[in-house]
Amino acid sequence: MSQTFDAVEQQSRLEERATAALDLAKRLGADACEVGASVDQGIGIGVRLGETESIELSRDQGIGVTVYVGKRKGSASTSDESDASIRAAVEKAVSIARYTGEDAAAGLADASEMATALPDLDLHHPWALSTDEAVELALRCEAAGRECEGITNSEGANLSSSEIVTVYANSHGFLGSKRGTRHSLSCLLIAGSGDRMQRDHDYTTGRRADSLESPETVGRRAAERTLKRLGGECPRTGRFPVLFSPEMARSLVGNLLSSISGGALYRESSFLCDRLGDTLFPEWFSLGERPREPGGLASSAFDGDGVATRDNVFIDQGRLASYMLSAYSARRLGMTTTGNAGGARNVRVQAPATPIDELLRQMGTGVLVTEMMGQGLNPVTGDYSRGAAGFWVENGKLSHPIEEFTVAGNLETIFSGLVGVGDDIDRRSSTHTGSWLIDSMTIAGQ
């Protein structure tokens, strides 16, 4: 970008500041300490109706310090990297730790679990793009969408590009850092008029600028998605097969991962407590993570505890094979960390890929869900209910758009009722999956 940002220099500076904070914490009497630091810089362009609406140049930085005095923990942070501010943060963290209650699970991850091999995962690809060039790309994207017949208005196109440097260090002697980039382009359009208007969007994203789809492709696809939604009706109430588009299937994966995360488990706020080894999905379905995948949107050689990341299989041939644990949650559960402090990284579904037309044929009459609203999940019971929009399917073919209905069930029955996974894999996030066909769910419409 046109802003000056020397990522190598920033990385070296943050490593120095983190090391200084660790040394100071030790001198002030902390038994252990960990430091996380980051700096990111980027540009965001917004255009609407052929005009530039916004140009935002951003730069954020922060340093967080956590110290342990025995089994007592204290944390403090600052956005100022000066010696005085870092000293104040460390002193505050130590002071807090001396007055908090003891927690038997508190402390750093074991030294033996620290990452030692820190390979280059191909995450850093700056985009040498001027502000004028960025504006032009966004304008081209919106123009391509607005040129499609039937598009009546626009909420604009947005382009963003950012670089980030992150550092994690602790008093075991671990020091890990990484540089990364993220670029994206999106467009949101409107079709119809009055109370029959519809809106939809499309986007492209990646670590490399040359991996993005063209502005015209994004704009035209946003227009196509918007136009298909015109004339939406409320479907009838009943139980029907439901096909979740890849974006919506990704949210079901997120529900699963939340339910097997250590925090939910030790708080007993998950319907999957004490369920290791149980069959949740059909035997042809597996799901895991690949945190060291080169160029992955969530790749990292170490987790938020400094623990070495590794490929994990959470669902193995339908069975719940592993929970998702940090060092702290593992101690609370009497288990071992899975290298998942900070969550799962590069989640991949492993299942036979069925052509999407074949999944539609299998479902016969039912609902294709392409949008959901609300957060209707009870994590303790797994009961699931969300507002939705999409398309009615009749005789294996898309019939007409539908809206203003609710799709409901229970996550356990949704998972066990998975009939097939589509070959329409969406790779625009760190979770890759195709569409999911569920055998039966409750549709609440008119």
Q: Encode the chain (446 residues) as per-residue pLDDT tens digits.
A: 445 789 999 999 999 999 999 999 999 999 999 999 999 999 999 999 999 999 999 999 999 999 999 999 999 999 998 999 999 999 999 999 999 999 999 999 999 999 999 999 999 999 999 999 999 999 999 999 999 999 999 999 999 999 999 999 999 999 999 999 999 999 999 999 887 899 999 999 999 999 999 999 999 999 999 999 999 999 999 999 999 999 999 999 999 999 999 999 999 999 999 999 999 999 999 999 999 999 999 999 999 999 999 999 999 999 999 999 999 999 999 999 999 999 999 999 999 999 999 999 999 999 999 999 988 899 999 999 999 999 999 999 999 999 999 999 999 999 999 999 999 999 999 999 999 999 999 999 87
- What is the 3-state secondary structure of the chain? CCCCCCHHHHHHHHHHHHHHHHHHHHHCCCCEEEEEEEEEEEEEEEEECCEEEEEEEEEEEEEEEEEEECCEEEEEEECCCCHHHHHHHHHHHHHHHHHCCCCCCCCCCCHHHECCCCCCCCCCCCCCCCHHHHHHHHHHHHHHHHCCCCEEEEEEEEEEEEEEEEEEEECCCCEEEEEEEEEEEEEEEEECCHHHCEEEEEEEEECCHHHCCCHHHHHHHHHHHHHHCCCCECCCCEEEEEEECHHHHHHHHHHHHHHCEHHHHHCCCCCCCCCCCCECCCCCCEEEECCCCCCCCCCCCECCCCEECCCEEEEECCEECCCECCHHHHHHHCCCCCCCCCCCCCEEEECCEECHHHHHHHHCCEEEEEEEECCCECCCCCEEEEEEEEEEEECCEEEEEEEEEEEEEEHHHHHHCEEEEECCCECCCCEEECCEEEEEEEEECC
Q: Report pLDDT for 376.
A: 87
Residues 57 and 151 in one domain: yes
Chain-centre distance for alpha carbon 403:
26
Q: Report pLDDT for 3.
A: 54
Residues 216 and 242 in one domain: no
Residues 373 and 247 in one domain: yes
The total of structural domains in the chain comes to 3
Residues 277 and 324 in one domain: yes
Residues 60 and 196 in one domain: yes
| Nearest CA-CA partner of 434 in 350, 309, 314 | 350
Residues 361 and 431 in one domain: yes
CATH number at residue 155: 3.30.2290.10
Residue matched to tokens 């519809």: 198
Give 441's contacts (C-beta < 8 A, 6+ positions apart). 239, 240, 241, 242, 407, 408, 409, 414, 417
Residues 93 and 218 in one domain: yes
Residues 333 and 415 in one domain: no
Residue 266 lies in a domain: no
Residues 198 and 69 in one domain: yes
Question: Of 350, 378, 404, which residue is a domain's last?
Answer: 350
Residues 303 and 384 in one domain: no
Phi, psi of 133 (to 5 degrees): -65, -40
Residue 263 lies in a domain: no
